[in-house]
């Protein structure tokens, strides 16, 4: 067991880099994710469907397309990337910061979706009661809505969906391996 916990310098560097990327991706997208989820859950405005589609766009586009668009926009010669580099010294292309940004962009729709569904599940009567007792909208959100955004019993459902996703992924990998082996027997090697 102790040998499993002992990491080579390269492995330790990879773990530190992964934690750094994940931390910054989550940190930078959390506040905007809560704000967008709140707007989508409670807002009534023209273009709401467009905003919802825009938020979920990274989920339906191939990751290569999303990455390419980020590179065009935020690369050293991209309009935003050049500005950030020249004025603030921030470079995204081929750096850990770019990996953090890509993770944030790809995870943002999932974060917004989960938070939005949780906000929609909050009993509005609790918020109304706090407001009648004199709490302002920001205070109601911070002490009532935000703490209730985790749906009771949601952990069981999440675990069930996770296990189903793992099973489907394993079946797809096994099927791909089976097909590849069959094709290698049928097709002559060159």
Does any domain span residue 98?
yes
Cα(128)–Cα(115) distance, integer angstroms: 20
Reported as a single tens digit per residue, the pLDDT across 104-160 is: 999 999 899 888 888 888 888 888 888 888 888 888 888 888 887 765 555 676 677
Among 6-10, 63-67, 79-83, 99-103, the least confident range: 6-10
Query: Would you state the torsion angle of the CA atoms of residues 27, 56, 77, 24, taken in this order, to the nearest 10 degrees?
Result: 10
Does any domain span residue 104?
yes
Please indicate whether residue 118 or residue 47 has the higher confidence score (pLDDT). Answer: 47
Residue 165's pLDDT band, with cuts at 50, 70 and 90, is confident
Q: What pLDDT score does 3 carry? A: 57
Q: Tell me how many domains the chain contains.
A: 1
Residue 100's pLDDT band, with cuts at 50, 70 and 90, is very high
Does any domain span residue 144?
no
Residue 4's pLDDT band, with cuts at 50, 70 and 90, is low
Q: What pLDDT score does 56 carry? A: 92
Residue 50's pLDDT band, with cuts at 50, 70 and 90, is very high
- Give percent of the chain with pLDDT exceeding 70: 91
Range of the domain at 17: 1-121
Does any domain span residue 165?
no
CATH of the domain at 74: 1.10.3720.10
Residue 87 has pLDDT above 90, yes or no: yes
Cα(127)–Cα(133) distance, integer angstroms: 10
Residue 189 has pLDDT above 90, yes or no: no
Does any domain span residue 139?
no
Cα(168)–Cα(107) distance, integer angstroms: 21
CA atoms within 13 A on the CB side of 120: 12
Residue 1 has pLDDT above 50, yes or no: no
Mean pLDDT (the chain) is: 85
Residue 52 has pLDDT above 80, yes or no: yes
Cα(156)–Cα(143) distance, integer angstroms: 25
Does any domain span residue 56?
yes
Q: What pLDDT score does 29 carry? A: 94
Does any domain span residue 70?
yes
112 token code pair: 């917004």
Residue given tokens 């709490």 in the structure block: 135
Q: What pLDDT score does 154 carry? A: 59
Secondary-structure percent of the chain, ordered helix, strand, coil, rounded to 5: 80, 0, 20
Cα(127)–Cα(110) distance, integer angstroms: 25
Does any domain span residue 5?
yes
């Amino acid at each position: 067991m102790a040998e499993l916990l002992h990491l080579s310098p390269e492995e330790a560097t990879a773990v530190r880099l992964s934690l750094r990327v994940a931390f910054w991706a989550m940190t930078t997208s959390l506040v905007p994710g809560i704000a967008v989820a709140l707007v989508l859950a409670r807002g009534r405005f023209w273009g709401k469907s467009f905003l919802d589609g825009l938020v979920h766009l990274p989920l339906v586009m191939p990751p290569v397309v999303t990455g390419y668009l980020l590179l065009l926009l935020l690369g050293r010669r991209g309009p935003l990337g050049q500005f950030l580099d020249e004025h603030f010294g921030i470079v995204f292309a081929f750096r850990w910061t770019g990996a953090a940004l890509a993770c944030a962009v790809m995870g943002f729709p999932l974060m917004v979706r989960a938070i939005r569904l949780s906000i929609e599940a909050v009993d509005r009567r609790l918020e109304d009661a706090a407001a009648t007792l004199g709490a302002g909208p920001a205070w109601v959100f911070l002490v009532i809505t935000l703490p209730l955004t985790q749906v009771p019993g949601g952990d069981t459902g999440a675990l069930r969906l996770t296990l189903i996703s793992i099973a489907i992924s394993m079946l797809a990998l096994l099927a791909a391996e089976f097909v590849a082996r069959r094709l290698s027997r049928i097709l002559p090697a060159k």
